[in-house]
Structure 1
Amino acid sequence: MNHVKSLRSALIALVGLCVPSLVIAAELPDKQAELQVKPKSEDTVYLNPREMSAIPQGAFGDKVRQGYQLFVNTQQLRGKYVGNELNCSNCHMDAGRKPNASPLWAAYMAYPAYRKKNDKVNSFQDRIQGCFTYSMNGQAPANGSEELVALSAYSYWLAMSGLMDQYQVAGEVPELSDAELLKGGKREDFALPAAVKAAMNIDELAKLPGRGFPPIDKPELAYSPERGATVYQAHCQACHGDDGQGLAIAGVYSLPPLWGPQSFNWGAGMHRVNTAANFIYENMPFGKSIQLTNQQAWDVAAYINSKDRPQDPRFKGDVEALQKQYHNHQGYYGQSVNGGAVLGSQSYPVNPDKK
């Protein structure tokens, strides 16, 4: 047994001496791992939330509409809670409705849940706060804030309206208090219509088909930023630019930056090559999707994530220490690619002033 441990330690040390641009797509312990997502199935039936026009009038409906507005135009919170040029809908597509693009209706029913990323059980409110901190490179709104309530109300309404229609429950979506909205739907005391409760248990509701980004097979070849550059030029740069900085008209971004100072930071889930590959394969190029091979998706994800971006908010002055604690996964933080600077050593600011 000691011999095996010694051999394993020697191999790890040997790998640590190398800083390759080709990374083997192996299984790695992932401190930032998301909730497990099942592979797609051709005969899957997805939840279909009601149209926006079905949102009721009144105070509750106003919260739902506000949540929608914040979700598709998160830039209205720039300088307050947002520190880059992204909107929530850049990754959660079709305003958070699209299956296999991490839809809000599935996410709402998956929380509260334990996350390795912060080593605690997260409410839905906690999960949204994390999005502001990492994906939006900003600052998390305070617990119970108007913005968190609105985003939770919108997510809840999408989930409950879809469930009610799927199980032929007539009527308006039941209203919840602000405190209840912020918790999420994966709990025994969550109020469900009798027909829904009879059809699905709490674990099934937490794993609704279409949740997250469906995993794709590992690539046949080790993923490569060099090959990914070719894929990017052919399929991505027309929208995101040859410099990856997206498309802005009059200072408003219609297509998001993929790296650099205005993109997601080194703590966001999308900086992991596997997560980005899953998302890209399923949802890109925008408007077409499922156009790339598995290998191309992995390679272009490696290319995008081999570029520097805003610093991980958990950074305390030591890139190597942070890399060991939080980045032991398929990513490039703490590494040098093609002889460049160690990624993370010269990263852009977290939550910068837009000026």
Structure 2
Amino acid sequence: MKKIPLILLSLIMIPAVQADELPDTQTELVSVPKLASQTYLKPRPLNAIPDGEFGDKVRKGYELFVNTQQLRGKYVGNELNCSNCHMDAGRKANASPLWAAYFAYPAYRKKNDKVNSFEERIQGCFTYSMNGKAPASGSAELVALSAYSYWLGMGGVMDMAKLDSPVPAISDALLLQGGKLADFPIPEKVKSMMTIDELAKLPGKGFPLVPKPPLAYSPVRGEKVYQAHCQSCHGADGLGYETAGVYSLPPLWGPDSFNWGAGMHRVNTAASFIYENMPFGKSIQLTAQEAWDVAAYVNSHERPQDPRYKGDVSKLMTKYHKHQGYYGQAVDGSPILGSHSYAINPKGE
């Protein structure tokens, strides 16, 4: 990896994201192939979070991650929590764990033609997956979520190196950048085991790619899969289940789900997630064909508008949706998806 001076990285990677820019930080999550008998990093238990200022940031990050709804109406515009897609509070391998993502940033992203810091990746999640408003660069929320991610990852690799000391506290500026820096403070014993590139490609990163189906994926077949395996948790209407205003099981489409800019609206991304992690608590219960089909069914329903929409669905589709998805298309005679989308960040500021 070519070294870039830390001061230069700080200048190019942590600009305040302007509302009218909306960089596409929701491109596909890069995964690491899943191998037989693979061992994965094990994060430290939550009761190992230290006392003090740094530990308080880590605890706050955990709380925001599992109960992102506490930010509803401020930075969150739907009924999802981060942990709905990043399973086990961002700790589960092959469910886009935070400990793997943290070491993969900063990273160049072709879609917005720039190096993205870890905080920019999180900002994208608020804008798209949470159908909300990105917290400002350097905000307490972004620092906390970055601190939690860093603590999970660094504690895990320190344990792999048999270092039982506390995770070193680092500055907020470093936390927000991510761990893929030539001069990121990594214990020497960890450095002797893994290179920066190896840390960025930890086994269990992202969602393992599901095998391509023998037949072209089909929302029609996917509806039957959904009825048999999914609707008992997510409802026949896909709107999830709530009690006293709290969603115990998340909506998969409709006004309170992720919007058309979120990575999960891609059929291939959703298929990989579903195949590996659904039904909840079971994993790999569906065939590859069923996973692709039910992902197509879920993503053939209307949801909140892509925040980059400027009045023309076809133009937006041409610019941002040349992938395995249904935005800008009519499915089985339905209206063109995106033409009747729900509101963006309906309760946000």
Could you tell me whether the CA contact under 8 Å between 1:31 and 1:326 is conserved in 2?
no
Residue type at the aligned position of 1:317: G
SS at match of 1:134: helix
User: How much has 1:114 moved relative to structure 2?
Assistant: 1.3
Question: Are 2:160 and 1:144 equivalent residues in the alignment?
Answer: no
1:174-213 paired onto structure 2 within 5 Å: 174-213=168-207
Say if 1:314 and 1:51 are closer, same or farther in 2 by CA, change over 3 A: same
Could you tell me whether the CA contact under 8 Å between 1:81 and 1:132 is conserved in 2?
yes
Picking from 290, 297, 300, the partner of 1:306 is: 300
Show structure 2 runs of 5+ residues with no match.
Answer: 1-23
Q: Which residue of 1 aligns with 2:18?
A: none
RMSD: 1.2
Q: Which residue of 1 aligns with 2:340?
A: 346
User: How much has 1:216 moved relative to structure 2?
Assistant: 1.2
Q: Which residue of 2 aligns with 1:125?
A: 119
Question: Are 2:96 and 1:115 equivalent residues in the alignment?
Answer: no
Question: Are 2:237 and 1:243 equivalent residues in the alignment?
Answer: yes
User: How much has 1:31 moved relative to structure 2?
Assistant: 10
Comparing 164-173 with 137-146, which one deviates more in the overlay? 164-173
Quote the Cα distance in structure 2 between the aligned partners of 1:56 and 1:248: 34
Could you tell me whether the CA contact under 8 Å between 2:329 and 2:337 is conserved in 1?
yes
Quote the Cα distance in structure 1 between the aligned partners of 2:99 and 2:132: 24
Question: Are 2:159 and 1:160 equivalent residues in the alignment?
Answer: no
User: How much has 1:32 moved relative to structure 2?
Assistant: 5.8
SS at match of 2:206: coil
Q: Which residue of 2 aligns with 1:224?
A: 218
Could you tell me whether the CA contact under 8 Å between 1:260 and 1:308 is conserved in 2?
yes
Show structure 1 runs of 5+ residues with no match.
Answer: 1-29
Identity over aligned pairs, percent: 74
Comparing 245-254 with 112-121, which one deviates more in the overlay? 112-121
Quote the Cα distance in structure 2 between the aligned partners of 1:226 and 1:199: 49
Quote the Cα distance in structure 2 between the aligned partners of 1:31 and 1:107: 13
Quote the Cα distance in structure 2 between the aligned partners of 1:72 and 1:33: 23
SS at match of 1:203: helix
SS at match of 2:242: strand
Residue type at the aligned position of 1:212: G
Aligned length: 325
1:247-326 paired onto structure 2 within 5 Å: 247-326=241-320
Quote the Cα distance in structure 2 between the aligned partners of 1:56 and 1:119: 38
Quote the Cα distance in structure 2 between the aligned partners of 1:286 and 1:127: 26
TM-score for the superposition, normalised by structure 2: 0.92
User: How much has 1:56 moved relative to structure 2?
Assistant: 0.5
Greater gyration radius: 1
Could you tell me whether the CA contact under 8 Å between 2:25 and 2:121 is conserved in 1?
no
Ranges of 4+ aligned residues in structure 1 off by more than 4 Å: none
Q: Deviations over 1:4-37 (max 9, x none)?
A: xxxxxxxxxxxxxxxxxxxxxxxxxx99642532
SS at match of 2:177: coil
Residue type at the aligned position of 1:157: W
Q: Which residue of 1 aligns with 2:165?
A: 171
Residue type at the aligned position of 2:319: Q
Quote the Cα distance in structure 2 between the aligned partners of 1:37 and 1:150: 25
TM-score for the superposition, normalised by structure 1: 0.90
Could you tell me whether the CA contact under 8 Å between 1:39 and 1:216 is conserved in 2?
no
Residue type at the aligned position of 1:169: L
Q: Deviations over 1:142-180 (max 9, x none)?
A: 000000000000000000000000110121000011111
Quote the Cα distance in structure 1 between the aligned partners of 2:229 and 2:110: 34
Question: Are 2:57 and 1:50 equivalent residues in the alignment?
Answer: no
Could you tell me whether the CA contact under 8 Å between 2:26 and 2:125 is conserved in 1?
no
Q: Which residue of 2 aligns with 1:26?
A: none
